[in-house]
Amino acid sequence: MRKDVVTGEMVPKRQLIRVVRNKEMEVSLDPTGKKPGRGAYVSIDVKVAQQAKQKRTFDKVFGVTLTDEFYDELIAYTDHQQARQALFADQND
Q: How far is CA 74 from CA 1, 46, 89, 91, in A?
A: 21, 9, 22, 26
37-73: string of b/e by CB count within 10 Å (b at 16+)?
bebbbbbbbbebbbebbeeebbbebbeeebeeebbee
Domains assigned to the chain = 2-92 (3.30.1230.10)
Q: Tell me the pLDDT tens digit for each residue of 28-63.
A: 999 999 999 999 999 999 999 999 999 999 999 999
Among 15, 7, 29, 35, residue whose Cα is nearest residue 81: 15
Mean pLDDT score of the chain, rounded to an integer?
95
**Single pTM value for the model:** 0.92
